């Protein structure tokens, strides 16, 4: 390839700040390409001039996959795909369909376009201001397993958004032409596997995906179920356990604020006809009480951050009180609408917190024991720290459950599993069919938080292991803890994470083959995504 003598025009400078405001960078050279030719020109110039290229996305992430915090970013080029590279073409076949989309499109815009064709997903992340590319990079998920006797809808999946990919076009190194170019991978090409959830190790320019018919869902909130009942050691007739609701409707989420008795439990039930007791909704974000930080919360946060950590229980109780009051005041406890209108509920001005994140792969019968063991350990640790006048966890526990990214859900014959998906099936345990997603949230920089997270993480890896379960990290969240920081534990980075994936080295080899110059990397990525 000829040397690109002139730097591409149209650059500007932008800043970066992740969701918890703990990873940031300023004055980063940025481009918003209008087409793939411009994108390739930028990438090839960057490679020739020793720049790293990162897609800036919507910055709704915790882990430092994009840039390093406070790093010298003078040799980084940001690509903002969301300004121009957001076209979508939808093809409907019968009740279901497919679409081809550029990955800069925001999820809410994509779901809105699909809804107009009576198409839609039943499980996806709660924020709507994420790019499709960002969601696919970290195998973004919702909460969804089959209810009792429920069959998979045509072109649906019980797994993550990544499992819907039919084909994708990535920016890759062409050794013959000696430049970066586009290459389309089909879902039955073994080399597509690490690209299906690429962790930001490449640029996915365009995807073709399957999508089922849209459904109307009823979303009910419950705030009267004690945690002792919801997270009981096993499912029992008459108990309102988490498993009970999964059997009933397949889609459930628990948000349990610290030092409260009852979680905020939400369930989504397929409801083609309008339930007369429900509130019909025609747009998303129907919990306005959680969209902003009320003065009572901000005042408590200031107290906690200024030497009064013992106010933490008051904050947990206030948060739950606001949920209860808000659900009643906005008549939001029982909603009914198209899928996106009841599944999207997180806005950019929601309280910014940090979070750890793990997917526990196991069999469905283990859901209750896993949840019971986890919350029991959590409460033991909270009590232990409390006795030391330490209050590291001031945000809620969040629980969601999905199926796995099984390739047989794909309409493509011979489809391969997403190699780096946190819910990739475990070949040695075909009986494992669910992923239990566990998060604990806390305010950024809370004293002893990393120490608590580290202790909990070591227990999770040790407890959910062997023939009982397998623990994988949630790429976008916090993990790899030391007592001082996240993403710094060398044993987790070098052994535990790679060891949780079959063919890790093969996946790394494919990614390196298509980006041998490490153009699409960050400092953290170069530590993590390497062959064992």
- 508, 502 contact by CB (below 8 A): no
Catalytic residue among 191, 253, 455, 474: 253
- Give the range of the structural domain holding residue 210, as residue numbers without chain letter: 88-214
The answer to the question of residue 158 being in a domain is yes
Predicted confidence (pLDDT) at residue 136 exceeds the cutoff of 70: yes
Q: Rounded to an integer, what is the distance from CA 106 to the centroid of its chain?
A: 15
Helix, strand and coil percent figures for the chain, each rounded to 5? 30, 25, 45
The answer to the question of residue 228 being in a domain is no
The answer to the question of residue 150 being in a domain is yes
380 is annotated as an active-site residue:
no
The answer to the question of residue 374 being in a domain is no
The answer to the question of residue 134 being in a domain is yes
Predicted confidence (pLDDT) at residue 205 exceeds the cutoff of 80: yes
- 200, 243 contact by CB (below 8 A): no
Give per-residue pLDDT as tens, 2-47: 677 789 999 999 999 998 888 999 999 999 999 999 999 999 999 9
- What are the start-end ranges of the H helices in 294-337? 295-305, 312-329
Give per-residue pLDDT as tens, 314-330: 999 999 999 999 999 99
Pick from 196-200, 305-309, 500-504, 517-521: least confident: 305-309
38 is annotated as an active-site residue:
no
The answer to the question of residue 121 being in a domain is yes
* Per-residue confidence (pLDDT) for residue 2, from 0 to 100: 67
CATH code of the domain containing 162: 3.30.465.10
The answer to the question of residue 319 being in a domain is no
Model confidence at 72, pLDDT cuts 50, 70, 90, reads confident
* Per-residue confidence (pLDDT) for residue 1, from 0 to 100: 66
Give per-residue pLDDT as tens, 222-257: 999 999 999 999 998 999 999 999 999 999 999 999
The answer to the question of residue 24 being in a domain is no
Q: How many structural domains is the chain composed of?
A: 1
Longest CA pairwise span in the chain (Å): 73
178 CB burial (10 A radius; 0-12, 13-18, 19+): exposed
Number of other residues whose CB lies within 10 A of the CB of residue 495: 12
Strands (DSSP E) along 149-250, which ranges? 165-174, 179-186, 203-211, 216-222
What average pLDDT does the structure give for the chain? Answer: 96
414 CB burial (10 A radius; 0-12, 13-18, 19+): exposed
Model confidence at 351, pLDDT cuts 50, 70, 90, reads confident
Structural tokens at position 350: 């929601």
Nearest to 69 by CA among 356, 487, 452, 530: 487
398 is annotated as an active-site residue:
yes
Catalytic residue among 398, 455, 457, 474: 398
516 CB burial (10 A radius; 0-12, 13-18, 19+): exposed
Catalytic residue among 124, 141, 218, 400: 400
Give per-residue pLDDT as tens, 441-452: 999 999 999 999
* Per-residue confidence (pLDDT) for residue 71, from 0 to 100: 75
Catalytic residue among 54, 60, 124, 141: 60
Give per-residue pLDDT as tens, 281-291: 999 999 998 88
Predicted confidence (pLDDT) at residue 293 exceeds the cutoff of 90: no
User: CA-to-CA distance for 320 and 262, rounded, in angstroms?
Assistant: 9
């Amino acid at each position: 390839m000829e040397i690109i003598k002139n730097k591409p025009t149209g650059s500007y400078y932008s800043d970066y700040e992740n969701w918890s405001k703990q990873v940031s960078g300023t004055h980063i050279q940025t481009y918003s390409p209008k087409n793939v030719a411009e994108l390739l020109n930028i990438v090839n110039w960057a490679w020739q001039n020793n720049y790293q290229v990162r897609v800036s996305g919507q910055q709704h992430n915790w882990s430092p996959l994009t840039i390093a915090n406070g790093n010298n970013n003078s040799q980084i080029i940001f690509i903002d795909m969301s300004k121009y590279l957001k076209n979508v073409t939808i093809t409907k076949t019968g009740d279901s369909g497919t679409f081809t989309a550029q990955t800069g499109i925001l999820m809410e815009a994509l779901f809105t376009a699909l809804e107009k064709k009576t198409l839609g997903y039943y499980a996806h992340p709660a924020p709507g201001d994420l790019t499709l590319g960002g969601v696919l990079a970290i195998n973004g998920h919702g909460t969804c397993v089959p209810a009792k006797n429920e069959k998979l809808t045509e072109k649906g999946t019980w797994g993550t958004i990544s499992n819907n990919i039919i084909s994708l076009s990535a920016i890759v190194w062409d050794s013959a032409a000696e430049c970066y170019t586009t290459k389309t991978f089909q879902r039955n090409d073994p080399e597509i596997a690490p690209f299906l959830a690429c962790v930001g190790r490449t640029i996915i320019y365009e995807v073709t995906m399957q999508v089922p018919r849209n459904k109307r869902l009823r979303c009910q909130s419950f705030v009267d179920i004690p945690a002792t009942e919801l997270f009981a050691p096993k499912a029992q007739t008459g108990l309102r356990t988490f498993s009970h609701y999964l059997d009933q409707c397949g889609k459930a989420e628990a948000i349990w604020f610290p030092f409260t008795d009852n979680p905020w439990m939400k369930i989504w039930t397929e409801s083609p006809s309008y339930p007369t007791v429900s509130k019909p909704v025609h747009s998303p974000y129907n919990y306005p009480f959680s969209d902003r930080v009320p003065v009572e919360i901000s005042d408590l946060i200031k107290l906690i951050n200024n030497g009064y950590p013992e106010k933490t229980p008051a904050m947990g109780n206030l948060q739950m009180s606001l949920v209860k009051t808000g659900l009643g005041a906005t008549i939001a406890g029982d909603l009914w609408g198209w899928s996106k209108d009841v599944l999207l509920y997180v806005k950019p001005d929601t309280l910014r917190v940090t979070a750890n994140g793990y997917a526990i792969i196991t069999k469905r019968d283990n859901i209750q024991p896993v949840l019971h063991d986890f919350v029991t350990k959590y409460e033991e640790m909270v009590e232990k720290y409390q006795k030391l006048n330490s209050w590291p966890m001031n945000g809620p526990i969040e629980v969601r459950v999905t199926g796995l990214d099984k390739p047989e859900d794909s309409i493509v014959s011979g489809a391969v599993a997403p190699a780096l998906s946190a819910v990739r099936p475990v070949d040695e345990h075909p009986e494992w069919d669910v992923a239990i997603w566990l998060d604990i949230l806390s305010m950024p920089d809370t004293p002893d938080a990393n120490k608590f997270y580290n202790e909990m993480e070591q227990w999770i890896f040790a407890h959910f292991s062997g023939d009982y379960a397998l623990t994988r990290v949630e790429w976008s969240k916090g993990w790899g803890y030391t007592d001082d920081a996240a993403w710094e534990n060398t044993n987790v980075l070098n052994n535990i994470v790679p060891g949780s994936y079959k063919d890790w080295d093969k996946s790394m080899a494919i990614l390196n083959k298509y980006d041998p110059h490490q153009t699409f990397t960050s400092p953290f990525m170069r530590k993590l995504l390497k062959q064992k």
